[in-house]
Structure 1
Amino acid sequence: MASSIGDSGPYTGEVSPGGAPDTRELAGLVVTKLAVDPKMSNNCYLLRCRATDEQVLVDAAAEPQRLLELVGASGLSKVVTTHQHWDHHRALADVVAATGAVTVAGEADSDAVTEQTGVVVDDRVRHGDTIEFGEVRLEVIHLVGHTPGSIALVYDDPQGTPHLFTGDSLFPGGVGNTFGDADAFRTLVDEVSTKVFDRLPDETWFYPGHGNDSTLGAERPHVAEWRERGW
């Protein structure tokens, strides 16, 4: 996938564990995507405010040393955990210990994150809350279904199109795994339909918790098919 208008550099979002990160430069925000753990291939996203150099990490999934090298001398203001599943926060304790970053997670998943990592969640966010660093504002979208407290983060670029970090709630080709729970699947499809597709434009670029990126426009025609197939 090519970079969208206003970006500099050939960002594709195609990364692999052990490989180099990929960086997208927006007018006010720099997004660096890194894949960790060959088995789970989790995506971690380092977000840097261009005006202040303040940084936020989305999902300290694994390989804390690589994440800390990515963070570098600018330090880390916050770590956002998109949901409670173990593969998305294995490096959380080490990253927080090294940086002193404030921890953020969805309210309904925060207790589980603390139980699994030993790290207290400082900011337990709800739908519609904002996460701010430097001059950047991320809006929290609470998406029930993959877990009770999964969150997505939308950066509504003042000089471009929206950018959405979806955790494991939305991927190219479908919504996140609901582990055979039909009710949870219906809930997640409804949540993604009303809170994401009904609200954000086709040009919205989204960054999932695993694998390649996509746009809402590429996925929108298939939402009815996802609902029909039931997974």
Structure 2
Amino acid sequence: MASASRLVTDKDFQCSTCHCVFTDPVAIPCGHNFCLNCITTHWDTNRLCSCPFCNKTFTDRPLLCVNNLIASVAEKFREPLPQQPVISGAGYILCNLCGANNTTPAIKSCLMCLLSYCATHHEPHQSTPALMRHRLIQPVEDLEGRICKIHHQRLDYVCSNDQNILCYECLDRDHKNHNTVKLEVWMKTKLDQLKDSQEKVDELIRQR
């Protein structure tokens, strides 16, 4: 996922019916997204087959398919992040090796070790040949959720063909001829599309 300076928050992945992060997200023809169970229940309990958000009605009940890519991203927001102590009013990522009463901020996180290190404990990664091959990034939380389970690389790309989130190794080995884009770019594009749809709906409401 993105670093601490995320382009999106969990609110961007909340169902407008249950107001929770999507579970099995599906898109309906008007462009709005809902949890599969939420929209199914809405249609089962109402005479008209309509969108709960914009009230657009459909003559035939749309066929629903779960969007696995949005589901995967939404799952990251549903996972609880590790609780980190607060130092001087600011939330720091702390060194994992400094003991129980640790207040030392980390300067790097390792995607191979799945640990964060302060300046002292980071030193072996600069001098030990085996550790020097590890992938170090700026300190982040939820390290396991940010790396590829196969290649131990950061998940930075989206494949439009397979609707998967990829690391660089996945991209280079299995998706060379696919349509891929940086995750941050994909997320911004989707948010822009959602905002555009919302503006069109608002304009239709104003006209009515």
Which structure carries more helix by proportion? Answer: 2
TM-score for both structures, normalised by structure 1? 0.23
TM-score for both structures, normalised by structure 2? 0.25
Greater relative contact order structure (CA < 8 Å, 6+ sep): 2
